[in-house]
Amino acid sequence: MNIINVTRVDMPPIGDYIEYLEEIWESKWLTNNGKFVQTFENKLQGYLGVQNIVAVTNGTLALNVALKALEITGEVITTPFTFPATTNVLIWAGLTPVFADIDPQTWNIDPVDVEKKITENTSAILAVHCYGNPCYVEELQKIAYKYDLKLIYDAAHSFGVQYKSESLLNYGDVSCLSFHATKIMHTIEGGAIVAKKTDVSDKIRLLINHGIKSEEEVELAGTNAKMNEFQAVMGLCNLKHVDTKIKQREELYFHYKERLSGLNIQFQKLISSRYNYIYMPVIFESLGQRDKVYSNLIQNGIKARKYFFPLTVSSAYFQDKNLVDKYHLNVASYIANCVLCLPLYADLEMATTDVIIDIIKKTIKRSEW
């Protein structure tokens, strides 16, 4: 049986990558802000319509460095409906995550609940553009200005996404991208940090290279988060094809949506002016129905994913096991219990999506008997 995974890595033509490798072998410059990292950053700025972009090793370190660059302390309000990295970076930085509920339509952090959770110890908001769908950026920015808070976006899913015809990465103080192998645009592993202010970007460049200003001067206690040349050339190769890949995903996304319409299934409300169709998340009527669909798909060699389930507040390292109730995360809990991401990648065959859709329809009909 051929296994259909929830996603699959997009690979560029191998000849394109080999051409770059030959140059790397000739120069023997593998890391430390090499030629191809610089070229990749410049290409990204042009494609994304941003300034002050710094390429890094991965998306998690992007968040780590952003928190350090902005000197975040105390409490940070964030979402529980996200990949563990969003919460983990706060714990690693010695910060206290405070969880706000999510909007029932966009599945992003709810600005109204964010404002309710602010205390004298709050220093920042760490919001996630869930599945690349823009947060309510204007509302969050108003709150950040009102309470003098830093606003950081986990934009791991948001490559190429625009809001009101402007790059989504231009909102907030800092946005952090992931270029992990499963993303729309990847560098095998990798990420990038987009800063609104040049002085913050300059600080980030120091932080990702141990704080080294010159051969004899270390200005900051930094870390090693540099992107290497092999990652950068994979990015340069993939950047050439990303628009085509997005278009292929878009066709599959709307095919799913059209054929699943009429069922009691909820789709994410997209508020972007340009979207990247990175995932195909759907919300079922109940946890039981979601799990039956998931099980039936698995039995047919189709690996959908309960993404994001469970909520990050359920992580074992939290001593308080009742954080859902403590923070009143009713919407997030419901969405997490009922969500399923269906297979979606550029070279997925339309016929395969029809098989998946038929399994879902049959499962739902049986559950209604």
pLDDT at 278 over 90: yes
Question: 212 and 250: one domain?
Answer: no
Question: 55 and 198: one domain?
Answer: yes
- pLDDT tens readout for residues 138-155: 999 999 999 999 999 999
pLDDT, residue 367, reads: 67
Domain contains 79: yes
pLDDT, residue 369, reads: 52
Q: Mean pLDDT over all residues of the chain?
A: 97
Question: 246 and 234: one domain?
Answer: no
DSSP annotation of 135: P
Crossing angle for the helix pair 350-368 and 287-299, nearest 10 degrees? 130
pLDDT, residue 27, reads: 97
pLDDT, residue 52, reads: 96
For residue 190, what are the domain limits? 14-239
β strands within 187-304, DSSP E = 191-195, 212-214, 217-218, 266-267, 280-283
| pLDDT over 70, % of the chain | 99
Instruction: Say how many domains are in the chain.
Output: 2
CATH number of the domain enclosing 42: 3.40.640.10
pLDDT, residue 21, reads: 97
| pLDDT over 90, % of the chain | 97
- pLDDT tens readout for residues 117-144: 999 999 999 999 999 999 999 999 999 9
Question: 74 and 184: one domain?
Answer: yes
- pLDDT tens readout for residues 244-276: 999 999 999 999 999 999 899 999 999 999 999
Question: Which ranges in 118-225 belong to alpha helices (H)?
Answer: 137-146, 198-207
Question: 247 and 233: one domain?
Answer: no
Structure-token match 């469970």, residue found: 310
pLDDT at 224 over 70: yes
- pLDDT tens readout for residues 42-90: 999 999 999 999 999 999 999 999 999 999 999 999 999 999 999 999 9
Domain contains 29: yes
pLDDT at 368 over 90: no
- pLDDT tens readout for residues 326-344: 999 999 999 999 999 999 9
Question: 76 and 115: one domain?
Answer: yes
β strands within the chain, DSSP E = 53-56, 75-78, 96-99, 122-128, 150-154, 162-163, 166-167, 174-178, 191-195, 212-214, 217-218, 266-267, 280-283, 339-342
pLDDT, residue 2, reads: 84
Mean pLDDT computed over 285-291? 97
Confidence class for position 184, pLDDT limits 50, 70, 90: very high
Question: 58 and 165: one domain?
Answer: yes
Q: For the chain, what's the residue count?
A: 369
- Rounded Cα distance between 119 and 121, Å, is 5
Question: 116 and 42: one domain?
Answer: yes
Domain contains 283: yes
User: Exposed (0-12), middle (13-18) or buried (19+): which is 302, by Cβ within 10 Å?
Assistant: buried
Question: 38 and 63: one domain?
Answer: yes
